[in-house]
Amino acid sequence: MPRSLPTDARDAVLAWYDDHGRALAFRSTRDPYAILVSEVMAQQTQVGRVVEAWSRFITQFPTVDALAAATPAAVLRAWQGMGYDRRALNLRRAAQAIRDEHGGRVPDDVETLERLPGVGPYSARAVAAIAYGRPLGAVDTNIRRVLRRALTGSDDKAPARAWIQAAADASVDRARPAAWTHALMDIGATICRPTNPACATCPIASWCRFASVATSAGRVTRPACRSRTRRPQPAFTATTRWLRGRILDRLRAAIDGSWTSVAGPVGEHDASAITAALRALEHDGLVELHPKDPLLARLATI
């Protein structure tokens, strides 16, 4: 089983990217701080939502120092619409660590980047590759799927993460690691999709074992999987995540930071659910609760 894509496949990927890569605002910068912001935003969030939010966030907090000095409330307001709001506070804490421990310079090595709040293995490698040109293979969901299919010919999740990471590091184009990272992400997002992959238009189809199987079969095949009875999922509006988002949106509307009543109901959620959500948000450092009324809250100020 091959452990990396060959040189001519890498050349084909980069040629395709030069012609077809997505023109995203945050790809036009080489500022390591701005790239770090974009990578944290892209965690668990569709790229389309990131583009507008990133431009707004960078305008408000253009430097590490600006973000590090901001209040949690200001950062949470700038983060509106992105979801997973703890990422915003982690990004602020990362900025403070960069300011206080690294002289205001975003680290350029993976190990140090991973020690920053909210920065995991993928984000650390992406920042190192994109901002600093380090020949490292960043592996997100899309890139993992592209490499797994190309190198193993299967959608089977069997290859261990360590195997995929080693394959990614061995495959990365040493001369253009930033473009390589963006290219594989774009191929995974637009061509090598989880379902109905467009193998006929893929730049690495000639070297891809999965595409070869699909072509010979006349269709894309998928490994057999055991059928499992899935429990019906509750409507999103019934989830705690939805409730937390609505509470934070209500608090964001109080621009002056005044105490805001979050008395229920909020959608399908009654007072007890709201109280529990507020306490959880307080525990996560996102809100402050009034000492005399647990249903009065505001975005965290310190």
Residues 153 and 51 in one domain: yes
CA-closest candidate to residue 148, choices 196, 186, 206, 194: 194
Residue with more model confidence, 148 or 44: 148
Evaluate if residue 289 carries a pLDDT over 60: yes
Is 225 domain-assigned?
Answer: no
Three-state SS at 298: strand
Q: Residue 226 has what pLDDT?
A: 43
46 and 187 part of one domain: yes
* Mean pLDDT score of the chain: 90
Mean pLDDT value across residues 2-8: 87
Q: Write out pLDDT tens, residues 117-131.
A: 999 999 999 999 999
Look at 31-45, 77-91, 151-165, 200-214 and tell me which has the smallest mean pLDDT.
151-165
Give the start-end residues of each E strand in the chain: 260-261, 287-290, 293-299
236 secondary structure, DSSP code: G
Percent of the chain at pLDDT > 90 equals 76
CA distance 69 to 62: 12
Token pair of 202 as six digits: 């893929």
Environment class of residue 243 by beta-carbon count within 10 Å: exposed (0-12), middle (13-18) or buried (19+)? Answer: buried
Is 204 domain-assigned?
yes
Query: Do residue 1 and residue 67 come from a single domain?
Result: yes
Nearest to 39 by CA among 113, 93, 104: 113
Domain that holds residue 268: 236-299
Query: Which residues have CB under 8 Å from 154's CB, separation 6+?
Result: 148, 209, 210, 223
Does residue 39 have an active-site annotation?
Answer: yes
CATH at residue 176: 1.10.340.30
Active-site residue identified among 39, 52, 111, 282? 39
Question: What are the distances in angstroms from CA 297 to CA 136, 188, 244?
Answer: 44, 42, 13
- The whole-number average pLDDT for the span 236-261 is 91
Q: What is the C-alpha to C-alpha distance for residues 214 and 289, in angstroms, rounded to an integer?
A: 57
User: 108 with 202, same domain?
Assistant: yes
Q: Is residue 47 part of a domain?
A: yes
- Looking at residue 216, its pLDDT comes to 55
The neighbour count for residue 1, using CB atoms within 10 Å, is: 9
Rounded to whole angstroms, how far apart are CA atoms 190 and 122? 20
Greater confidence, 173 or 302? 173
pLDDT for position 74: 95
Q: What is the pLDDT of residue 234?
A: 66
Question: Cα(122)–Cα(168) distance, rounded to whole angstroms?
Answer: 11
Domain count, the chain: 2
Query: Is 138 within a domain?
Result: yes
- The reported pLDDT for the residue numbered 155 is 84
Q: Write out pLDDT tens, residues 15-57.
A: 999 999 999 999 999 999 999 999 999 998 888 889 989 999 9
pLDDT at 223: 43
Q: 199, 222, 183: which is closest to 150 by C-alpha?
A: 199
Examine residue 226 and state whether it is found in any structural domain, yes or no: no
Whether 129 and 247 share a structural domain: no
- Domain shared by 286 and 138, yes or no: no
Q: Is residue 231 part of a domain?
A: no
119 in any annotated domain? yes
Q: CA 57, 83, 259: angle at the middle one, nearest 5?
A: 85
Same domain for 269 and 175: no
Look at residues 179, 196, 220 and tell me which one is the last residue of a structural domain: 220
> Are residues 109 and 147 both part of a single domain?
yes
User: CA end-to-end span of the chain, whole Å?
Assistant: 53
Cβ-contact 100, 131 below 8 angstroms: no
Whether residue 70 is found in the same domain as residue 166: yes
Judgement on whether residues 44 and 117 belong to the same structural domain of the protein: yes
Domain boundary among 169, 195, 220: 220
What are the structure tokens assigned to 69, written together? 């000095």
Same domain flag for 26 and 80? yes
Residue 230 located in a structural domain: no
> What's the confidence (pLDDT) of residue 1?
52
pLDDT for res 92: 98
Cβ neighbors of 278 (< 8 A, separation 6 or more) are 247, 262, 287, 289, 294, 295, 297
Tokens 């403070």 — which residue? Answer: 96
